[in-house]
Amino acid sequence: MTKDLFRDRERGEEQAYFRQQDAKLIAKLRQKAQLSEIAHALAEKLHADEPELLERIQKLGVTLDTGSAFILAPLVEVAWVDGDVSDAERDTILRIAKQRGVAPGSADYRQLLDWLTHRPSDEVFRTAIEAIRIGLSVLPPDESEQRIATITKGCEDVAHAAGWFEELLWLDGVSPAESEVIGAIRRHLAK
């Protein structure tokens, strides 16, 4: 009988801990906190709920110091669609990063610069989307959809930055390949 009481108490404490991690992440997302704060809250959530995913992220070389860059990986993926990253795409991503608190010279900034020079593996992109999706899953559906729209808009901004030639070829300035990648990112986040 006392074993059951202790087990029930332990379960209750565990559930309270998980709710607390979700609440921290929700608060950071709602206040549009700096990406580094969101990355830390997401890491805590993954540590509690998805330790295998957190381990995969760590094996990719992502740390708390580069967590903001990891959250921006979908933008980097769009920039690499055509095989290289233009100066305009690079500048757009770095501008968005700066707006979200990524300081020039920081580990996050250096990681972004590296990824904009040397294409990350597809595993980095897939894992980033999976982690972001889990992070967004704590929000009510309408708020989650708003965040997905913001991420999609950032991806579209990167695609539009590709240049005037793309504007001539496609009415909206986004190539079919970029549209496909942006659509896939949106679908994976909305699962």
For residue 87, the SS3 value is helix
Question: Stretch 31-41: mean pLDDT, rounded?
Answer: 73
Whether the pLDDT of residue 72 is over 90: the answer is yes
pLDDT of residue 76: 98
112-171 pLDDT, tens digit each:
999 999 999 999 999 999 999 998 888 888 888 998 999 999 999 999 887 655 555 555
Is the separation of the CB atoms in 96 and 112 below 8 Å? Answer: no
42-64 pLDDT, tens digit each:
888 888 789 999 999 999 999 98
Whether the pLDDT of residue 40 is over 60: the answer is yes
pLDDT of residue 139: 82
Question: Stretch 13-41: mean pLDDT, rounded?
Answer: 63
Question: If you ran DSSP here, which 8-state letter would residue 44 be given?
Answer: H
Could you tell me the pLDDT band of residue 19, with boundaries at 50, 70 and 90?
Answer: low
Whether the pLDDT of residue 33 is over 70: the answer is no
Could you tell me the pLDDT band of residue 103, with boundaries at 50, 70 and 90?
Answer: very high
For residue 174, the SS3 value is coil
What's the CA gap between 138 and 165, in Å, rounded?
A: 41
Residues 6+ apart with CB under 8 A from 51: none
For residue 85, what are the CA distances in angstroms to 36, 108, 118, 161, 173?
24, 18, 9, 10, 16
Could you tell me the pLDDT band of residue 78, with boundaries at 50, 70 and 90?
Answer: very high
What's the CA gap between 88 and 36, in Å, rounded?
A: 24
- How large a percentage of the chain has pLDDT more than 90? 56
Predicted TM-score (pTM) of this structure: 0.82
